[in-house]
Structure 1
Amino acid sequence: MISVDQLVAIPSLGLRYLAGERGGARLVTWAHACDLPDPWQWFESGDLVMTTGGGLPDTPPEQARWMSQLIDSQVSALVIARGPGTPEVAPALLDVARERGFPVLSASFDLQFVTLARTVIESAVESERQRLTTITRLYDVYWQALHARGAFADRISALEGTTGWALEVRDHGAGGEVVVSGRLALHQHSTGPESASERVEIPIPGAGDVVLTARAGRSPVNDRPLLQHVGGLIALELEHHAAERDRLRASGQDLLVGLLDESITIAAVWPELRHRGITNAVAIACWSPAEGAVLHHESIHRQVCLQQCAPLLLPSGSTLMGLVPRDLELLATICARLGADCAVGVSKPLTANSSVAEAARQAQLAVARAHEQGQTVNAYGEDGDDISFLPRSVEDTRALVRRVLGPLIDHDKHNEGNLLDSVRVFLRNDGAWQKSAEELGVHRQTLVYRLRRVEQLTGLKATSTEGSAMLWLTLSGAERAKLSLDDLTD
């Protein structure tokens, strides 16, 4: 489309500025002549208003108000070709236009408005033809980029090549974090600071707070409808990506359940982890909210911080367990997305022979330590004081053992039972039923019965992450403090 400055530059039209030169870049979508006293009732945004002055009020204050109302209607500019007997253009009118950067042009009364209108209309028609050509090319280029099976950034770069704009996708819900940038946008970032006033943003349909940002590259960003077409293509991409992330989360939850109950070995899932973008050290993480708070984990797998990998995630009570890259900075970022005062505990790195159930206990102990110390992240075994997970004094340890293990000690003492020893062996064998039963010299079903009795007496389920962690913590504390369990009950 043609701009006000470009119209002024056409000698045959004889237009000149009376005020508002700084608005000369405004685009003109259409042109109409009107001598009515309320032209704003008859025009649309972007129109060029042409008048002989017949509708202008007589007094300067009225002309100033008239000018303000016309500008508020979002028209692009005003052309005045004064006819005989029409009011003079008051300085007050021009002052309003000058203050608001609205172009007011003068023309000879001999100018035929139809000539000016034809110039604008021909420009609009040509602009629409070029837009249709560009839109067709956009879809062709995008299809070719999809067929090439490149990355999302490669497709954004292909759109940059067609439009001449520097493009990137931002998530305002994550503080304006960049989801993806084209090569031209990356180059601009590397060559100088970005000015927010230079950006044109449009919301991505159906993507929440995600927006498409465009900056001038080879071409100025002066075609919003075309930018909306680009946004539509990106919306389809994001929707497909979100569906894929949902699928990966669902399958990842099933895998993590299998790893925790040891029906799947960690070695068996290494290829799947690589497919999910998890290629370096991995660990089990446990995210836990502050007391009484809730983790908002439902869409965490779609967050920008997890665009490059798809961890295995499993809600567990009020916590969220995950098999994740052992990247403490990433895990802290996830904490911030899950909710205020959330903390995360991280296990030791997993190997092909690791027990995921044991790693889960480590992560749960670490997150308890994080809350205790007011930390966001705590890595098991890396705070230089492993005993800090346990009570701080012998008396505290004795009180903990009485509270947690007292019912088991009393039961074994009065019933010649083996509940305490059964729990100790079961935890030492990382929850392996058959191996524990053989070590105890009992049938597997007998061990199942004993651990069910443990749960009835203590309220702690030895096969759950929370129960096994608390039982292990108490037994370890008693062992470190060299306490005799036989002497700890009344």
Structure 2
Amino acid sequence: MVITVDGLIAVPSLGLTYLAGSRGGSRPVTWAHACDLPDPWRWFQAGDLVMTTGGGLPAGSAEQTRWIDRLIGSRVSGLVLAMAADAPEVTPGLRATAEEHDFPVLLADFDLQFVTLARTVIESAVESERERLATTRRLYDMYWQSLRARGTFDERLSALEGSVGWALEVRDLEVGETLARGQAAANRQPARPGGLIDEATQVPLPGTSDVTLMVRPGRRPVQDRLLLQHLGGLIALELEHHAAQRDHLRASGQDLLVGLLDETIDLAAVWPELRHRGMAAGVTVACWKASDATPLLHEHLHHDVRLRHSAPLLAYRSGALLGIVPDDSELLTSLTTKLGGGCAVGLSTPLAASSRVSEAARQARLAVAGAHEAGTPLARYGTHRSGSWFLPHSIEETRQLVRRTLGPLLTYDRDHGGDLVTSLRTFLANDGAVQRSSDRLGIHRQTLVYRLRKVEQLTGLKPTSTRGAAVLWLALQAADSTQLPLDDLTD
């Protein structure tokens, strides 16, 4: 490590003592220069140690205070005074300003050869650079060995901790969750809920916005910025590799889900793949949809840190995001916030290897409609009861009702290009008023009467009677509640 001001004090041959600012003794010293000019801050940079015989030090108290304040502002590590006989005396104002800023001011004998002090600093800097290079080499070697051994992300961080002597954690700041941590970071004890004993150094990772590397002292203090940059680069490469893998899983998962929805693939054939994707426990079909049909912000959902342990099958269709996902209500609800305002999620009944995914998707669509109706972020199919308590409770019950009641009308319309269903819907919506209904349809009154008689002939239900109107209206309401085309319910 680079020598510190305290480290120089500890070298007996230098004979240095503190005049002020001993609390700043942990400052690293990267170089040392002698300067008796009145404006040394123009010739030094951060980390340098200024050595002077007092030739450039002003005599007055106010002037010395301004002088030391300017020097502190240049971010040098400290000041060594080896005062010549004709040098001005150091004023209390200079000492007080140095103490206030924890800026080290050291006293040395005038006989001290500044070259000796400079050599000590330079040798330390050279040794520090040699150690940094060796540590960096070990860092990359160890990381490569861990990759070849197919270790986990946590194991690779633990290996890096052994090289650098720090506690390492990769954290997503947006959701406040840890992506990975080394053993040293995992063993740290919280000082209080939500906080750790030591302040962490945050290292931004190239190519990421919310993910950062948190570095805390371990065997060594966190001082080497260049080594931190090497660490950040390695972690960024790891995250980029993970992101590419998840992009591939998203694309292949979409192909699988489309095949399952179109029933060109059986779920039983995909079941082992679900386990491979981290969904060995219960799975379900989810449907995310906005209440106002606003397009969902789904493109990067598979990168969300909350899905780091699983890779769902996702496909975006008709303004809704469908997925075969872990059956975890808390997880699925939390993801709605990533997809946009007014989004809710509906869940099907749990899937088994023999399930029909197309049917489960219909259940999920019905459930998300129920969620929007109830104003809740999540609804499960079969558990949500809307205000329409008299409607069938399942899609299969609805399908049977529609087939039995409206099936003949749909078949007639399809075969003859008729408008029986549209005419019936308009007639019922206008409370059985023939003239108002025919006006809405833009047809003659007698044409509508003829169509209603045709409805009675095909279904056995008279639309103008209380019983007939009630049964036909119920079938139309049940079909509408599924948000599915009538043809889909009669196939």
TM-score by length of structure 2 reads 0.78
Aligned in 2, Cα 1:414/1:10: closer, same or farther, shift over 3 Å?
closer
Query: 2: CA distance between counterparts of 1:251 and 1:107?
Result: 71
Number of positions where the alignment pairs a residue of Structure 1 with one of Structure 2? 417
Structure 1 residue 359: deviation in Å?
1.4
Deviation of 1:179 after TM superposition, in Å, equals 1.1
The residue aligned with 1:377 is 378
- The CA deviation string for residues 54-98 of structure 1, in whole angstroms up to 9 with x for no partner, is 222333233223222222222111112222332322222222222
CA contact (8 A) 1:365 1:389 kept: no
Return the offset for 1:248: 0.6
**Cα pair 1:369 1:378 within 8 Å, conserved:** yes
Percent identity reads 60
How far residue 26 of structure 1 moved from its aligned partner, in angstroms, is 1.1
Deviations 1:108-161 (A, max 9, x none): 222111111111110111111111111111111111111111211111111112
Q: CA deviation at 1:416?
A: 9.0
Aligned to 1:167, the other structure's residue is in SS state strand
Which residue matches 2:312?
Answer: 311
Q: Check 1:341–1:78 CA distance in 2 against 1; reply closer, same or farther (3 A cut).
A: farther
Instruction: Return the offset for 1:189.
Output: 4.2
Residue pair 1:170, 1:210 contacting (<8 A) in 2 also? yes
Match of 1:81 in 2: 82
Shift of 1:388: 5.6
Matched, 1:122 2:127: no
Q: Any stretches of 5+ residues in structure 1 without a counterpart?
A: 421-472, 486-490
- 2:143 match: 142
Letter in 2 for 1:179: L
2:377 equivalent to 1:347: no
| Alpha-carbon separation, structure 1, partners of 2:72 and 2:369 | 62
- Aligned twin of 1:217: 218
Q: What letter matches 1:235 in structure 2?
A: A
Q: Secondary structure at the match of 1:27?
A: coil
Matched, 1:99 2:72: no
Q: Structure 1 residues 109, 416: closer, same or farther in 2, change over 3 A?
A: closer
Determine the structure 2 residue equivalent to 1:228.
229
1-side partners of 2:390 and 2:67: how far apart? 75
2:39 maps to 38
Aligned to 1:2, what secondary structure does the other structure show? coil
Q: Which residue of 1 aligns with 2:182?
A: 182
8 Å contact kept, 1:289–1:341: yes
CA apart distance, 1:323: 1.0
Q: Does the Cα contact within 8 Å between 1:97 and 1:104 map onto a contact in 2? A: yes
Contact preservation (8 Å) 1:60, 1:93: yes
> Against the structure 1 CA distance between its residues 196 and 475, is the aligned structure 2 distance closer, same or farther, given a 3 Å change threshold?
farther
Tell me whether 21-30 or 49-58 shows the greater mean CA deviation.
Answer: 49-58
Partners of 1:33 and 1:341 in 2: CA distance: 67
State the match for 2:209 in structure 1. Answer: 208
Distance 1:37 1:295 in 2: 65
**Is the Cα contact below 8 Å between 1:369 and 1:389 reproduced in 2?**
no
Q: Which amino acid aligns with 1:215?
A: R
Distance 1:6 1:130 in 2: 17
Deviations 1:341-385 (A, max 9, x none): 432111111112222122112212222222222222222223466
C-alpha spacing 1:248/1:66, structure 2 compared with 1 (3 Å): same
Q: Distance in 1 between matches of 2:234 and 2:417?
A: 72
Give the distance between the partners of 1:313 and 1:216, measured in 2 at CA: 42
Map residues 452-471 of structure 1 onto 2, 5 A cutoff: none
**CA 1:373 to 1:73, structure 2 compared with 1: closer, same or farther past 3 Å?**
farther
Compare CA radii of gyration and give the structure with the larger one: 2
Q: Relative to 1, partners in 2 of residues 1:391 and 1:107: Cα closer, same or farther, differing over 3 Å? A: farther
Q: Tell me the alpha carbon deviations over residues 291-330 of structure 1, each in whole angstroms, 9 at most, x when there is no partner.
A: 3755322211111111111111112233221110011111
Map Cα deviations across residues 265-302 of structure 1 (whole Å, 9 max, x no partner). Answer: 11111111111111111111111235375532221111
* Matches for 1:6-25 after TM superposition, within 5 Å: 6-25=7-26
Q: CA 1:301–1:474 in structure 2 vs 1: closer, same or farther (change >3 Å)?
A: farther
Cα distance, 1:94–1:294 mapped onto 2, change above 3 Å: farther
Amino acid at match of 1:241: H
Deviations along 1:416-473, whole A, 9 cap, x unmatched?
96997xxxxxxxxxxxxxxxxxxxxxxxxxxxxxxxxxxxxxxxxxxxxxxxxxxxx9
1:210-263 residue CA offsets vs partner (Å, 9 max, x unmatched): 211111222222222112212211111111111111111111111111111111
2:437 aligns with: none
Q: 1:410 to 1:232 in 2, by over 3 A?
A: closer
Matched, 1:291 2:289: no
Q: Which amino acid aligns with 1:178?
A: T
C-alpha contact (below 8 Å) 2:349/2:363 kept by paired residues: yes
Aligned to 1:332: 333
- TM-score normalised by L of structure 1: 0.78
SS of aligned partner of 1:141: helix
Letter in 1 for 2:478: G
Q: Please give the alpha-carbon distance, in whole angstroms, between the structure 2 residues aligned to 1:354 and 1:224.
A: 56
Q: Is the 8 A contact 1:15 1:105 kept in 2?
A: yes
Question: Who is 2:171 aligned against?
Answer: 170
Tell me which residue corresponds to 2:447.
none
Alpha-carbon distance in 2 for matches of 1:120, 1:181: 36
Structure 1 counterpart of 2:64: 63
Alpha carbons 1:53, 1:86 under 8 Å: kept: yes
* CA distance, structure 2, for counterparts of residue 61 and residue 96 of structure 1: 11
Is the alpha carbon distance of 1:476 and 1:198 closer, same or farther for their aligned partners in structure 2, counting shifts above 3 Å? same
**2:258, 2:166 → 1: CA distance?**
47
Q: Summarize the Cα distance change of 1:266–1:189 in structure 2 as closer, same or farther, 3 Å threshold.
A: farther
Aligned to 1:430: none
| CA–CA separation in structure 1 for the residues paired with 2:86 and 2:175 | 59
1 CA distance for matches of 2:128 and 2:16? Answer: 22
Further displaced range: 87-96 or 274-283: 87-96
Q: Is the 8 A contact 2:36 2:55 kept in 1?
A: yes
State the match for 1:265 in structure 2: 266
